[in-house]
Amino acid sequence: MSSAAPVVVLHVWGTRSVPSALWRMARDRFGLRRTPGLRFAKLLGTGSGETFTPRDADPGHWAALTVWDDAASATSFESGRLVGAWDEIAHERLRVSMSALSSRGRWAGADPFGTAQPGHHDGPVVAITRARIRTARALQFWRAVPAVSTDLQGSPGLRMSLGIGEAPIGLQGTFSLWDSSDSLVDFAYRRPAHLDVVRRTATVGWYAEELFARFAVLDLHGTYRGVSP
């Protein structure tokens, strides 16, 4: 495995057929494991992220988060069978290529994003969160989410956001794209609704596992819901 900072890529497909997308979700989990240069991968459902319950689910959009040893491996994947199969059932695709600026926590017991490159980044940034919610704390968590979601949508500098998850309940996350690091930091640490949830996390113990990572955007092309972010 290369010691270089990995390349992180998120694909989001808008699909024409829900059954075809579900079939690909089941089938491609196994194919990904044999992909050269791949460090970490998750096939994900998406949603609005308004409540982190099944009613948020968007059956028309599906995602793949992949982490690569290097840019060459990530580029090679683009012309492979898996991406081609998803493109065949899609009416749109968004691809965001990133490099980690900071990452803390675990995802399914792993440190997926490897060596971060800390420091100030001039340009668009992405935040990815992921949590495994404790069953006993789920109701408290769901009650806290709407206020944060409403505040997020009105935050200056937000280009797009969506919920991502490996399952409809209990394994939830977010992907958000921002104009700058300053915009992201302002929401995360200065907006009252989100700051209240951050402060309560340590005392309430909502999560059995959690991760927060921040990325520099290396490349972005395509559309999500018909719009290029």
Residue 61 belongs to what domain range?
7-220
User: Is there a domain that residue 225 lies in?
Assistant: no
pLDDT tens readout for residues 74-124: 999 999 999 999 999 999 999 999 999 999 999 999 999 976 666 678 899
Q: Is the per-residue pLDDT at 29 higher than 80? A: yes
Beta strands in 19-89 (DSSP E): 38-47, 57-68
Nearest to 92, CA basis, from 229, 201, 222, 199:
222
Q: Where are the alpha helices (DSSP H) in 89-213?
A: 138-153, 181-190, 192-204
User: Is there a domain that residue 183 lies in?
Assistant: yes
User: Is there a domain that residue 141 lies in?
Assistant: yes
Please state, in angstroms and as integers, the Cα–Cα distance from residue 62 to each residue in 3, 5, 6, 30, 155, following that order: 30, 26, 23, 17, 25
User: Is there a domain that residue 187 lies in?
Assistant: yes
For residue 1, the model assigns a pLDDT of 43
pLDDT tens readout for residues 31-41: 887 899 999 99
Residue with tokens 């991968």: 41
Q: Which pTM does this prediction carry? A: 0.88
Query: Which residues contact residue 61 at a Cβ distance below 8 angstroms, ignoring those fewer than 6 apart?
Result: 12, 13, 14, 15, 46, 162, 224, 225
Residue bearing the bigger pLDDT, 47 or 119: 47
Number of domains in the chain: 1
User: Is there a domain that residue 2 lies in?
Assistant: no
**Structural contact between residues 127 and 178, judged by C-beta atoms closer than 8 angstroms:** yes
Query: Where residue 170 sits, what CATH number does that domain have?
Result: 3.30.70.100
User: Is there a domain that residue 228 lies in?
Assistant: no
Ranking 25-29, 60-64, 185-189, 215-219 by mean pLDDT, the lowest is 185-189
Q: Is the per-residue pLDDT at 159 higher than 60? A: yes
The phi-psi region of residue 108 (left if phi > 0; otherwise alpha if psi is between -120 and 50; otherwise beta) is: left
Residue 78 phi, psi dihedral angles, 5° rounding? -60, -30
Q: Which amino acid is at 121?
A: H
Residue with tokens 């059954």: 19
Please state, in angstroms and as integers, the Cα–Cα distance from residue 80 to each residue in 20, 35, 76, 96, 102, following that order: 18, 9, 7, 17, 30
User: Is there a domain that residue 1 lies in?
Assistant: no
User: Is there a domain that residue 15 lies in?
Assistant: yes
Q: Is the per-residue pLDDT at 2 higher than 60? A: no
